[in-house]
Structures are given as C-alpha cells and as structure tokens.
Amino acid sequence: MKKRYFCNNLKWSRQKKDFISRKLNVVEESLNSIYTQIDIFQEHVKNELAGASAHIGHISELQELNKNNSIKNPIVVSSLSELISAVLKIKTDHLLVFRGEEKDYKDSALCPSVYRDYLSSEDKIYRESQRFNDEFFTGDKTAFDRLSRIQHYSAPTRLIDVSQDLLSAVFFAFDKKKDNEDAIIYIFEINEKKVKYYDSDAVSVLSNLAKISLKNEENDKSKEKIAKAANSYYEKIRLFNQDPSVKFLLHEIRDEKPQFDSIIDPKHIFSVQFVLPKLTSDRVKSQKGAFLLFGLNPEDFKKPIEIIENYELANFDKKVQHPFVSIRTIRLRGSSIPKMRKELELLGINKPFIYPEIDKVSEFLKVKCKRIDI
C-alpha cells in the first residue's frame, strides 16, 4: 500500500514538473517575443524622432521666414508641396501676391522693362503698339487698360506682372528656363488698404506718364519737368497743378476721364501702386494677374524706383509711397526643377492654362503630341 502511494506520488511530481517546465517555456517564448517587439518599437521611435527632428528643423526655417521680412536668406525647396507648405506658414492679415523669375537677378530684379534701355522711347512704344494693332484695343477705355494689354504682349512698360495664384508664378519661373540655376519666387505682402483698382485716379496719373516724352526741348511736356515740379511742390497740390508740365499730363488724363479735376497729387507721381485690372483678357483671367505700376523716381527720373536693395525691402526715399508690408523670396532648387515641372503639369498648370490663345495652345500641342516612333 505504501509502495503504491509512493509510486503514484512520484508520478504526480513528474507530471507537475513537466507541466511547470512547459509553462516556463511558454513564458520564456512570450518574453522573447515581447523583447523583440520592444526592440522593433525602440528602432521605430528612434527613426520617428530622427524624422521629427528634421521636420522641426524645416518648420524652424519656415517660422524664421515668417519672422523676417528680409529676402536676404531665402529658404530653398525641392518640391511644390514644400513650396505650398512654406507659403501657408506665412501669418498675415494682408494680401499675398507672387512673381516667378527663372533665376536670381539680384538688385536688378523687379525692375519694369521700360527702364531697361527703353525709357526714352516709352511714349513711342505706347502709341506705335496701338497704331499697328488698333483692333486689339477697341475695348480698352484707359491708358492703364492699354498698358496692361501691351505688357502681356511683351512690349516694355512701367508695369511688373504679379499673380494672385502661386502656381501661375511657378509656371513663369520655369517657362523659359534652360539651365540648372535656382529659380525664384517673390512673395509680396500687400497692405490691403493700399490696393488700387483699374479706375483709380492714382492709376490714371501714373499710366498716362507713358504718353509723355522723357525730355522735351520744345516745351514743358516731359517726365523731366513733371518730376522737377513734383519735387518742388511735393506738399503743395495747387501750385503743382499750375505748373505747365502738369497741365500737359492733365490733358492726357482727361482724354479718358473728361471731368478729371486739376488736383493731381504730386505724391502719386513718386509712387508704386498695386493694381487689380479688369479681367477682360482671357490671359489675365487664367493667370489671376495683377500689376505693380511704377511712377517716377524722386532722386533720378531716368531710373526706376528700387523696391529691393541688397536683398532686402528697399529703404525707400521718404517721398516714395508704396503698398508693401514685406517682400520675401523662396528659391526653387535647380536640380529639382524637372521634378517640379512634372508636378505642375500633373496639377493642370501648363501653357494652354496660362496662355489660352490659339497660337500658344498650338505650340503646346505640337510639342506634347509629336510622335517619336511611327
């Protein structure tokens, strides 16, 4: 009896030992699995922290862009998503407009084309453009209407194109680009209280300067004499309007606004205006176009008003009125431009979108649809 009890007890002890051993094996396997998962999780956290660190660094760059109105140290982006992200980080209650340029022209950037060796012929360019193509101008009622049309057909004017659409600005930065240099996007922060429309009196004053010769030996009808009068009578509107040169300008303005009073403000002569045009042109409508309209430089009527200087918003002459709160730049990395071109095309921003005229659409289709293999 005792022997049987001992054997049964021994058997139970072995079964218990085997059971415990199996349980321990299961626990050990579970622990090993947990340790493996912990290692994987630690590696994942490490990678996430590294990515977050890089992202925080990029965000810091964007935040620095917002803090600093200087365009001296622009950030560089390699994709449209980075560009859009950078713009969305700008905190402002003002209007943002954009301009794309194929490379960094430094201090010569943002200069109206008429000041690139055409100023002495500005009045001739204005009139000859209409003389040869009068049918294109039949719907234009003002000098500004005509200037904006001339501008869009690449003749030199005192206008600079800008766009309310960021991607349109990117298109222009890439459109004629053939090198690997960085392209530039200028971001203008415009004081909304200083936005002008196409029918503004200040816009009429500056636009009609295009009809006035630079110098004139025969009479006082010249930009030279108007600039001299504006400097002399800057705070004296009545005396300014009595000057013979200003009476010639008033005559040109009354050609579009017959009831215009002789109260031209001399401060407008030395100003840069941001102007929203009529969207009567399919091209302006597609591009969401607007313009910077330049008056005369109070220091030298033969030179443009500089709005950037040493990569910063210019320290304007105290007589110059302007709408700028800030100017920023973003560089589009040259080596990434082919990729960004494809991204732009994917988003539907191409030549027919920007230039809806039939000749431009035809040029686009000839390139896009040409078969390499027949």
pLDDT tens track for 184-203: 999 999 999 999 999 999 99
pLDDT at 90: 94
Q: What is the C-alpha separation between 147 and 261, in angstroms, rounded? A: 23
The percentage of residues in the chain with a pLDDT greater than 90, rounded to a whole number, is 61
The answer to which of 33-37, 146-150, 155-159, 205-209 has the lowest mean pLDDT is 33-37
Name the band, by pLDDT with cuts 50, 70 and 90, for residue 73: confident
Question: How long, in residues, is the chain?
Answer: 374
Higher pLDDT, 238 or 311: 238
- Mean pLDDT over 271-297 rounds to 91
Is the pLDDT assigned to residue 15 strictly greater than 90?
Answer: no
pLDDT at 39: 66
Name the band, by pLDDT with cuts 50, 70 and 90, for residue 71: low
- Mean pLDDT over 119-142 rounds to 93
Name the band, by pLDDT with cuts 50, 70 and 90, for residue 212: very high
The percentage of residues in the chain with a pLDDT greater than 70, rounded to a whole number, is 77
pLDDT at 36: 67
- Mean pLDDT over 232-251 rounds to 96
Closest CA relative to residue 269, chosen from 220, 201, 206, 318: 206
Q: What is the C-alpha separation between 18 and 14, in angstroms, rounded? A: 6
Give the DSSP H or E segment for 53. Answer: helix 2-67
Instruction: Looking at mean pLDDT, say which of 48-52, 107-111, 184-188 comes out highest.
Output: 184-188
What tens digit of pLDDT does each residue of 318-368 get? 999 999 999 999 999 999 999 999 999 999 888 877 776 666 667 667 766
Q: What is the C-alpha separation between 303 and 111, in angstroms, rounded? A: 10
| CA 306 vs CA 106, 115, 225: distances in Å | 12, 11, 21
Higher pLDDT, 369 or 240: 240
